[in-house]
Structure 1
Amino acid sequence: MKVPVCLTMGGLKNSGLETATCGHVDAEADADVCVEECEDDSNTNESDSLCTMIAAVKVLLQGLGEDVNRDGLKKTPLRVAKAFRDGTRGYCQTVKDIVGGALFPEAGIENVIGCGGGSGGLVVVRNIDLFSYCEACLLPFKVRFHVAYISSGQRVVGLSKLSRVAEAFAKRLQAPQRLAKEVSKMLYDTIRPLGIAVALECWHMQFHVMDGKAYEVNSDNQEMCGWNYFSVCAGSGLFEDESSDAWGEFIAVLSLGGVNIKRSCTTASAGQQGSWCPFQSLDDMRLPPVNGKTLDDSELRSNGHMVKKISGPNSQLNLNLQSKVGVSFSMMVAAVESIISAVGEDPKREELQDTPRCFVWWLLNFCLRKPGFQVNGFDWSIADSYRGGSSPLLDTVASTEAVSSGFVTEIDVPFFSQCEHHLLPFFGVAHIGYFCIQEKQQLARSKMNAIVQFFSQKLQVQERLTKQIAETVASTCNTAGVMVVLEASHICMLSRGVEKIGSSTATIAVLGRFVTDSAAKVAFFQKILSRDPTRR
C-alpha cells in the first residue's frame, strides 16, 4: 500500500504512525485529499506543517475509534489543523516587524517641572481581549491585556502596535506568567521607553474530571462566570520596582475602567501558578472505568487492553486504550508532539513535556465510553428497546416538580461535550420537559443526568446531542411528548474569533405532543425563565 505523502512529514515520519493512519481507507485516495487540502498554501513550509497536522489529527480520531471518513469528520482534520495554525501564528511574527516605523516624534512638556507627551508621560491601553492556547493542555483560554509605557526621547508608539504585539505573543502556546514577561520585555527592548508594564487577566475553562465533579473555579467577571480566573503582572524599566509610583499610577488608571488588579500580582502569581490550569492541580487523572469498573494492570492485559502509565511533576496518569482501535496511546502522544512541532514549538521544552499526554487524556476521557457500557449502573443496551412497563430508570421522585396532565420538567441539567468539527469543548445546560403517560412515574434527576452525560461524553454537535436526548427520553420514559432545549457556549467559536465573549447557542428538539401543542411549549419556556436568575 502506498503511504500518503502527508503522513511522512515532520514528526510523524519516524514514529510508526504512517502504517496506522490508513488502516481502513484507500491510501492513494487519501493522499490526493491531503494534497488538495494543503495546496491552497503558497508557502511550502506552511503547506508541509498543515499536512503534518492533518495527518496527526487523523491518528487522534482513529485512536478514539472514530471513522475519519464519516460525513461529520471528513473535514475535521483540516479544520483542526487550520485552527491550530491560526491560533499559533505568533511564532511567525517578530516585535521589530510589527512595530516597524510606528515610533512618532512628540514634544514633551517644555519646563522642567512635570512630565507628559513624549517625555516621561504614562500611556495606558486597557482591555485588549484575545485568546491563547494553554501550553499545559492545548485548550484555548481567554486573556485580557492592559499595557502601559512611560515615553522617552520625545517618541510615542502607535497605539495599535501595542495590541498587535500582545496578539503576537498570545498566538503561541502560553502560560500567563511567561506571556506577561515576554510582552513586557520585548516591548521594552523594541521601543526603548523608560518603563513597560503589562497586567493580564486570564480565564481558563473548567472541565469535569473522572469522579464527575467540576474543577472549582472563581471569577468576578459575569461574562466569564464559571471559568478559572488568574491575574499576573510584569514590568520592565521603571516598573521593575513594584512599590514605584509608576505602578501606582497604572493601577489607578486601570481602576478608572473598572479593572481591579492588585499591585502585588507580580509576586503573587508564582504561588498561584500551580492552580492556573486544572491539569496542573489534579493529582490523579484516570479514564472512565470500562464496563463499570476500573481495571488493574493484570486485568487490562488479560482483557486485551494496552496500558500506559506516565508520571509528571504534579500528576500521575493511568491511561488505558482498547487495542481493537489499532492505534496505541504512544502513537496518539506522538501525533500531538508532531502538532506541537508543526506550529513552531519544541515539544521537549520543559513546560510542554507532559502536554501531549494531557491532551490525549482529555480526548480519551470524553470518548472511551461506548454504547452498551454501563453508565451510573444502568445498562444502556436496553434503553433503545424499552417501550413502557417497568424500567430501572423509572421511579417516583417527590422533588421533581410536575404540573397538570403529567407534565414534568428538569431544568439546568449540566453537560460538557466535545465538538467533532474542531475537537474543542462545548458546554452548558439542558432543559427537558415531557408528558409522562403513567402518573407518578418519571425519570429521577440522577437518571436524567445519566442520559445527558452518556450522549455528551463523545464527539458531538449540539444539534445531534439535542435530538439524541429527546429521543432517548421519549423511548425510555413512555412519554406522550418531549421537548429539549440546550444552551451552550462553544470554545471553537470563541477562540477562533467568530463570536464575542458571553454569546451562546441554543438548540431545540420537539417530539409528540409538543409538535402541535403551542401552549405546552409556552409553559415549558416559562418554567425555564422562572428558574433562579443566578443559574442562568
Structure 2
Amino acid sequence: MSALDEGHFNAELENGVKLNCLGLGIQDQPETVAIADAVKVLLQGLGEDINREGLKKTPLRVAKALREGTKGYKQRVKEIVQGALFPEVGLDDAVGQAGGAGGLVIVRDLDLFSYCESCLLPFQVKCQIGYVPSGQRVVGLSKLSRVADVFAKRLQDPQRLADEICSALHHGIMPAGVAVVLQCLHIQFPNIESLFLDSNHQGWVKAVVHSGSGVFENELADVWGDFLSLLKFRGINLDKTQMKDSVQQCWCPSRYSSSAKVIGPPNRGMVTAVTSILSSLGEDPLRKELVGTPSRFVKWLMNFQSPNLEMKLNGVACGRMDPLKQNGQVSHNKQQIYTELCLSFWSQCEHHLLPFYGVVHIGYYCAEETTPLSKSLLQSIVHFYGFKLQVQERLTRQIAETVSSLLGGDVMVVVEAKHTCMISRGIEKYGSSTATIAVLGRFSTDPAARAMFLKNIPNPASGGS
C-alpha cells in the first residue's frame, strides 16, 4: 500500500489520529500509562527494585521516550507536504533542465534515527534524497527532511524505511521521480559471555539501501548516475551496478545472536509486557515482522541482570604491562604510573533502558617491585560493572574504587561513552559523547600525574559509532 494512500489517511482521521493534537499531557495518556506499567514488569523481571531512587521515574521516562521515538504513527505526511509546493517554471526557450522543469534536486546528510522492528533498539540513519521536479513546481526543502522523519519515527527495517519515504514523496509532490539512499548503523550489542571470548567485538552492523520511483525506477538510468556522483562527495560510493546487493538479507544482529543459547527461554511475563508496549505504540504485534520481537528484546534485556560473574580479585596471576616511558616516566617513592587504555565497555542506561558504550582508560601507581594488574583482570572489572543497569558517573566511580581496593589507593579512571538516549529522544544530538573522570589518592592532589595520564589517552577512532 502506498505510504500516502488515501484510504490509509482517511482511516487515520476516522480513528481520531491528528498531528500533535492529543488532548492530555503525554504522561497522562492511556498509552503512556500502559507502557510505563509494562516497563515495571521488565524491571522486576531483571530482579530490580522499581522503588529504588534511580529507577522510580524510569518507567515513565521510557514510556515517553518510546512514544516520542515512534510519533510517526500519529503523523500524516499529507499535512506536511500540502502548502509547501511552490511555482518554479524552469528554463524558457533553452535546451536543458532546471527549476521546476526537470532539474535534479538533492538534499544530503539528513540525520535520522529509527527503532529496529526486530529488536526495538534504535539505529542511526544518514538519509540522502533526490527528486526531479515536474509540473513547474518545487517543494520546500525542509519538507523532505520532515517527511523522512515521519517514517523514521516508526518501528522500521532499512529497506521499508527507504521505500516508504520514496513513495510518500512521490505521491505528495508528484515529481518526475524520487530517489532515496539510506546509510544505516545498527548497534551490535554483545552478551557478556561473548565478550570474554571475543575481545575484538565489532560494535556495528552497516547497511546501505536505496529506493527509486518514476525516472529512478530503472536503476541503470543516467539520472541515478548523476545522483550517485553527487553522493560520492559524502563518502557514498554506491555504484549503479552494485545497488541490488547493497543490503544484507538479515541485518538485525538479534536474529543471529547466540544470546538465546546462553540465557535460555525468555520470561513469559516480560514477553507479554513487550507485546503490550507494541500495541500501545500503535503497532500490530501479530504483524509477521514483529511476531518474534518481544522474545528477542527480552533475551537482550536479560543481559543486564545483576551479574553473577565470579571476580576473583585476590591471588590473580597478573601479567606485566608497559609503564609510561615514551611520554615520560613518573617516579615517586619508587612507584610508577601504569596505564591500560581503551578497554571496551557496554552498558544499559537505567534512566531510559537504552544502551551506552565506549572505552575506559585506567591509570594507577604501582611499586616497582610489584607486578602490575593484567589487562584481562581490568577488562573483567569493566565488564562486571558495565553489564547491569547503570549511569556513567556510577560506572566510573565503581571501576576506580575496585581497582583502588586491589592496589591500595592511587587510581585515575576516565570513561568515554556514547549514549543512544542522546539520539533517540527529544534532543537528538547526533555524534555527541560524554566523558567522566574519577581520581583517588595521589591523582586527586597531583596535577602533573593527572596531566601525564590524560595526554596518553588517544583520540577516539573515527567511524560510525
Q: TM-score range by the shorter chain?
A: 0.7 to 0.9
Q: Is 2:115 the partner of 1:185? A: no
Distance in 1 (alpha carbons) for counterparts of 2:265 and 2:243: 37
What amino acid maps onto 2:274 in structure 1? Answer: V
Displacement after TM superposition at 1:258 (Å): 4.3
Q: Which residue of 2 aligns with 1:200?
A: 182
Q: Which residue of 2 aligns with 1:19?
A: none
Q: Which residue of 2 aligns with 1:510?
A: 439
Give the direction of change, closer, same or farther, for the CA distance of 1:473–1:258 in structure 2 (3 Å limit): closer
Q: Is 2:392 the partner of 1:484? A: no
Q: Which residue of 2 aligns with 1:233?
A: 210
Give the direction of change, closer, same or farther, for the CA distance of 1:407–1:439 in structure 2 (3 Å limit): farther
After superposing the two structures, state which structure 1 stretch, 518-527 or 445-454, moved more. Answer: 518-527
Distance in 2 (alpha carbons) for counterparts of 1:257 and 1:487: 27
Q: Which residue of 2 aligns with 1:20?
A: none
Q: Is the 8 A contact 1:200 1:232 kept in 2?
A: yes
Q: Is 2:358 the partner of 1:428? A: yes
Q: Which residue of 2 aligns with 1:387?
A: none
Q: Is the 8 A contact 2:179 2:211 kept in 1?
A: yes
Give the direction of change, closer, same or farther, for the CA distance of 1:121–1:406 in structure 2 (3 Å limit): closer
Q: Which residue of 2 aligns with 1:285?
A: 260
Displacement after TM superposition at 1:407 (Å): 2.5
Distance in 1 (alpha carbons) for counterparts of 2:258 and 2:94: 59
Displacement after TM superposition at 1:424 (Å): 0.6
Residues 154-212 of structure 1: CA distance to partner in whole angstroms, max 9, x if unpaired? 11111111111000000000111000011111211221111111111111123213321
1:392 pairs with 293, 300, 315, which one? 315
Stretches of 4+ aligned residues off by more than 4 angstroms: 43-46, 214-217, 531-536
Displacement after TM superposition at 1:400 (Å): 4.1
SS in 2 for 1:282: coil
Displacement after TM superposition at 1:363 (Å): 1.0
Matched pairs, number: 432
Distance in 2 (alpha carbons) for counterparts of 1:83 and 1:197: 31
Structure 1 stretches lacking a partner, 5+ long: 1-39, 218-225, 289-317, 321-328, 384-390
Percent identity, please.
52
Distance in 2 (alpha carbons) for counterparts of 1:482 and 1:490: 25
Displacement after TM superposition at 1:73 (Å): 0.5
TM-score if structure 1 supplies the norm length?
Answer: 0.76
Distance in 2 (alpha carbons) for counterparts of 1:526 and 1:110: 62
Q: Which residue of 2 aligns with 1:340?
A: 278
What amino acid maps onto 1:483 in structure 2? Answer: M
Distance in 1 (alpha carbons) for counterparts of 2:419 and 2:100: 44
What amino acid maps onto 1:526 in structure 2? Answer: K
After superposing the two structures, state which structure 1 stretch, 41-50 or 153-162, moved more. Answer: 41-50
Residues 441-485 of structure 1: CA distance to partner in whole angstroms, max 9, x if unpaired? 23211111111111111000010111111111111x232311111
Distance in 1 (alpha carbons) for counterparts of 2:199 and 2:169: 38
Distance in 1 (alpha carbons) for counterparts of 2:368 and 2:235: 55
TM-score if structure 2 supplies the norm length?
Answer: 0.87
Counterpart mapping for 1:111-122 below 5 A: 111=93, 113-122=95-104
Residues 65-116 of structure 1: CA distance to partner in whole angstroms, max 9, x if unpaired? 1111111011111111111000000001122111112111221322373222
Give the direction of change, closer, same or farther, for the CA distance of 1:75–1:142 in structure 2 (3 Å limit): same
> RMSD between aligned alpha carbons?
2.5
1:522 pairs with 433, 437, 451, which one? 451
Q: Is the 8 A contact 2:122 2:420 kept in 1?
A: yes
Distance in 1 (alpha carbons) for counterparts of 2:119 and 2:26: 29
Distance in 2 (alpha carbons) for counterparts of 1:267 and 1:46: 46
Q: Which residue of 2 aligns with 1:374?
A: 310
Give the direction of change, closer, same or farther, for the CA distance of 1:520–1:257 in structure 2 (3 Å limit): closer
What amino acid maps onto 2:343 in structure 1? Answer: V
SS in 2 for 1:232: strand
Give the direction of change, closer, same or farther, for the CA distance of 1:66–1:264 in structure 2 (3 Å limit): farther
Displacement after TM superposition at 1:267 (Å): 1.5
Q: Which residue of 2 aligns with 1:273?
A: 249
Give the direction of change, closer, same or farther, for the CA distance of 1:186–1:534 in structure 2 (3 Å limit): closer
1:243 pairs with 220, 240, 245, which one? 220
SS in 2 for 1:345: coil
Residues 376-423 of structure 1: CA distance to partner in whole angstroms, max 9, x if unpaired? xx3xxxx5xxxxxxx223x35234436531432111111101000000
Distance in 1 (alpha carbons) for counterparts of 2:111 and 2:461: 27
Distance in 1 (alpha carbons) for counterparts of 2:214 and 2:190: 42
Q: Is the 8 A contact 1:340 1:346 kept in 2?
A: yes
Q: Is the 8 A contact 2:321 2:373 kept in 1?
A: no
SS in 2 for 1:496: coil
Counterpart mapping for 1:118-517 below 5 A: 118-209=100-191, 210-212=193-195, 213=198, 217=202, 227-264=204-241, 266-269=243-246, 272-274=248-250, 276-282=251-257, 285-287=260-262, 318-319=264-265, 329-370=267-308, 373-375=309-311, 378=312, 391-393=314-316, 395-401=317-323, 404=331, 405-437=335-367, 439-475=369-405, 477-496=406-425, 498=427, 500-517=429-446
Give the direction of change, closer, same or farther, for the CA distance of 1:519–1:500 in structure 2 (3 Å limit): same
Give the direction of change, closer, same or farther, for the CA distance of 1:85–1:123 in structure 2 (3 Å limit): same
